[in-house]
Amino acid sequence: MEDFSHYYQILGLDPGVGLEEVHQAYRDLAFIWHPDRLPLHPARLREKAADKLKQINEAHDRLRERLRQESEPPAPAPKPPSAPKTKPAAPCRQRPYYRDFTGADLQGANLKEKDLSGRTLSQANLSYADLSDSFLHQVNLENANLFRAKLVRANLLEANLRGANLREADLMGADLSGADLREADLTGAKVRAGNRLMVKLTGARLSGAILPDGARHA
């Protein structure tokens, strides 16, 4: 059995805490150790911060998945065998419903602080949805409609937002480090407070993206 004590230690937590405590510790540590907070420090220190952030992300992902599994209800007891059929039905091999929301209509949905990391929401309609403080690490939002969606302080690390409609979306405080924003439309998106950029875009791919000022990134 895998020993998770190391992941608790990275997040500064005691084993046995709940999912909300794991999320809160992750938020605090990701804020402290993000390399964007060290723009004037030597490259050596920024590299150390990036390595630390990778450990924090891994610890959060592993503990989140473990706590999810523990909270799932136990599988129902098998039914007694019925009379044999002449031809058994082929087994259903559909993906778990909670993993794939391709094309789903979630317009105006309240998804604040939800954990949708790693899930598929490609081509989904999330216009006007509230995704503030949500966990969207490595989520697939390719060609999704996020028109005027609230993504305040959302964690979109390494998210796939290629071709997404982010027109007039509120991205204040969002972390888009490593995200794929190629060909995305960010016209009118909220990303600045005065002259200060309030979105983390470290390592983001922006080729062909329409930026908030209307310019297309080369």
Q: What are the extents of the domains in the chain?
A: 5-70, 98-218
Model-wide pTM > 0.95: no
Q: What is residue 87's predicted lDDT score, i.e. its pLDDT?
A: 55
CATH hierarchy code of domain 5-70: 1.10.287.110
The contacts found for 23-32 with CB under 8 angstroms, 24 or more apart, are 23/60, 23/64, 23/113, 23/115, 23/135, 26/56, 26/57, 26/59, 26/60, 27/133, 29/56, 30/56, 30/57, 30/155, 30/175
List pLDDT tens digits, range 80-133.
666 555 555 554 443 333 458 888 999 999 998 888 888 899 999 999 999 998
- Name the residue type at position 82: S
CATH level 2 (architecture), domain 98-218: 3 Solenoid (2.160)
